Amino acid sequence: MAFQEELSAELAELRELGRFRSLRTIAPLPGGRAEFEGKIYCNLSSNDYMGIACDPDLRKAFYAQYPDIASPELAQSSASSRLLTGNTPAYERLEETLSSLYHHRAALVFNSGYHANIGILPALSGDGDLILSDKLNHASIIDGMRLADAEFKRYRHLDMEQLETMLKSLRPKYRRVFLVTESVFSMDGDAADLAKLVELKKKYDAVLVVDEAHAVGVRGPAGTGLAAETGVADDVDVLIGTFGKAFGSTGAYAVMSPEMRSYLVNKMRPLIFTTGLPPVILNWSRFVLERCVAMDGRREKLRRMGNRLRELFRNAGLVTGGESQIVPLVVGEDRPALETAEKFQKNGFLVFAIRPPTVPQGTCRLRFSLSAALEESDIEAMGKIL
Ligand SMILES: Cc1ncc(COP(=O)(O)O)c(C=O)c1O
């Protein structure tokens, strides 16, 4: 069969399984709204948890800082990798701001959370090492483990007992052991027991890597994440945050020891072999980080809305879970999930079915991703549909 025909056959199979994906054009609007196919929806599928990305006033305040729109601080390219000439002053200022938010630990900024996760573990681990990973960790963490020379094994989601059993038997066989987890999980909205993970990493002399993509901005003092909320941020060896979700920007960061930062600058391929982020993005990220410190009101609203939506689902006898601004509605198979999503869409709520390979087979769900930009009355309106 010719290559194109093979591709067509595989795509037909995906259609058959209800797993065909295509790109939709969606225009985000203020107030947690979005325009899709000519209709205005309440957007429940964005990770703009704090309502920053869709906040026109914040955007105006950012640009108002620069009366000269040709300012190099608004340049749209860094035109080089960081190790050549792309390490603009905006990088240094952003990393200093991050460092001051995390008890003056060293900070390093990356082009995206995906870059961070496919680069950090392969750089830090090697032959003779073992990575132990929560089974529901994000695809970018899985890809990072695949790229690493270390072996990796997965423990059942949030199962600290199984993790300890694995550590007991496996730790002596490896040079270094890495524990890697998300803090708030992207598809289930539940949270890792970070205090226990810190205890285990100390007991078994392991390195702890925590991806806080869905927690920074939203949780913890000044939005510094779940580890900080739990009081263990300083014990997390590599704490990763992303700018593309709650912070309404682009890129990612990690806080760590100065040695580890220096090591990554020397060894981490997705940091070395890529063009740096443009100054306009780095400056916007810093602007948002500084504003986000004082957004406790938005964080509290988000928490209330998450709890209320879970309550509405449970009252309607539906399966939900988690404890965050990510509220899953677990439906099961692909087609019923697609049909349920369609029902919500017909009622003006933009929510989509999440299907394998993003989630395990038989756990297709709608993922309600809440934003502080929404009104609490939007949540009540959803309850009426149920
Ligand atoms: C847990 C987690 N880590 C990393 C990423 C990737 O981050 P980014 O979108 O900045 O590449 C995502 C999101 O897509 C995520 O959910």
For ligand 1, whether the C-beta of 244 sits within 6 Å is yes
d(CA 58, CA 22): 32
- Residue 56: its pLDDT value, please? 97
Among 186, 219, 281, which is best to mutate for testing ligand 1, by the most ligand atoms less than 8 A from CB? Answer: 186
Q: What percent of the chain has pLDDT over 70?
A: 100
Q: Determine the distance separating the centroid of ligand 1 and the alpha carbon of 315, expressed in angstroms.
A: 32
- Is 214 designated active site? yes
Positive or negative, the Cα torsion across 36, 40, 292, 74? positive
Q: Which of 157, 159, 223, 185 is nearest to 323 (CA)?
A: 185
Query: Is residue 205's pLDDT more than 90?
Result: yes
The pTM assigned to this predicted structure is 0.97
Q: What percent of the chain has pLDDT over 90?
A: 95
Confidence at residue 358, expressed as pLDDT on a 0 to 100 scale: 86
Give the pLDDT of residue 233: 98
pLDDT-derived band at 319 (thresholds 50, 70, 90) equals very high
Show the tokens assigned to 293: 């410190």
Q: How far is the CA of 214 from the centre of ligand 1 (A)?
A: 8
What pLDDT does residue 357 have?
85
| Nearest ligand 1 atom to alpha carbon 243 | 10
Residue of 111, 140, 216, 253 with the most ligand 1 atoms within 8 Å of its CB, for mutation? 140
pLDDT recorded at residue 196: 98
pLDDT computed for residue 266 by the predictor: 98
* Residue-wise DSSP of 180-247: EEESB-TTT--B--HHHHHHHHHHTT-EEEEE-TTTTTTSSGGG--HHHHHT-GGG-SEEEEESSSTT
How far is it, in rounded angstroms, from Cα 106 to Cα 258? 5
The residue whose C-alpha atom lies closest to atom 5 belonging to ligand 1 is 113
pLDDT at residue number 384: 87
Segment 33-82, tens digit of pLDDT: 999 999 999 999 999 999 999 999 999 999 999 999 999 999 999 999 99
Domains in the chain (CATH in brackets) are: 17-50+296-385 (3.90.1150.10), 72-292 (3.40.640.10)
